[in-house]
Amino acid sequence: MSAWSDFRRPSPSGCTERFSGGVSVFFKTRCGRSAYRCRMSPRFDAIGLVVSDMAASVSFYRRLGFAFPEGAEHEPHTEAELPGGLRLLLDTEDTVRSFNPGWQPPSGGGRTSLALRCDTPGEVDRVYEELLSAGHQGDLKPWDAFWGQRYAVVLDPDGNGVDLFAALPQ
């Protein structure tokens, strides 16, 4: 029996986590799996955006294929489930202030973006043009990026970047 035996506990992933006097020594241990899968108990579940105009945001994301419930544009909070089980959460500024009264929208913008994979380079162009035709602002016109993708950026109603991309033919 090792000196560590009293401090070992199995995690849900089957890895053994070590503690010494309440201080984690994860950085010293290996379990044969990636650190993310092995050590983290919180799981990535949702992406949350605070929106200034729920109706405009729901309309924008519906154009991109997000399935919000009927009437979502009139709610202070709504969610759309994404393939793979992730969710996109939208909350109005007033909703956030209801539990965090001092909350203020960030200034400067450009720190958050969502990246949406399209099936073809032509779809990148089509979706970009459809969004511009609907009155949304383009940030980067479609172009053939040096990393091998057709790539464009359009802004949602709150100025968040929405990247559209597809692999270029080989």
Average pLDDT (104-131) is: 91
- For the chain, the domain total comes to 3
- Higher-pLDDT residue of 32, 91: 91
Nearest to 161 by CA among 139, 144, 143, 145: 139
pLDDT score of 35: 52
Task: Tell whether 80 and 135 lie within a shared domain.
Answer: no
Using an 8 Å Cβ cutoff, are 116 and 154 in contact?
no
**HSE (side-chain half, CA atoms, 13 Å) at 122:** 0
27-40 tens-digit pLDDT:
444 444 555 555 65
Alpha-helical runs (H) found in 3-151: 35-39, 54-63, 93-99, 121-133
Q: Helix or strand or coil: residue 137?
A: strand
pLDDT at position 20 is 42
- pLDDT value, residue 106: 84
Q: Which two tokens stand for residue 4?
A: 């560590």
- Residue 105 pLDDT level (bands cut at 50, 70, 90): confident
At residue 9, the pLDDT reads 44
Kindly state whether residue 1 falls inside one of the protein's structural domains: no
CA atoms of 154 and 160, how far apart (whole Å):
8
Tokens of 148: 């091998």
Write down the pLDDT at residue 26.
Answer: 42
Residue whose entry in the numeric block shows the structure tokens 């939208």: 90
Considering the domain architecture, whether residues 115 and 158 belong to the same structural domain is answered as yes
Which residues constitute the domain of residue 24? 9-39
CB 107, CB 158: distance < 8 Å: no
Domain shared by 63 and 80, yes or no: yes
pLDDT over 80 at 42, yes or no: yes
Say whether pLDDT at 167 is over 50.
yes
> Is residue 169 over pLDDT 50?
yes
Q: pTM here?
A: 0.73
Rg (CA), the chain: 21
Return the pLDDT at 122. Answer: 98
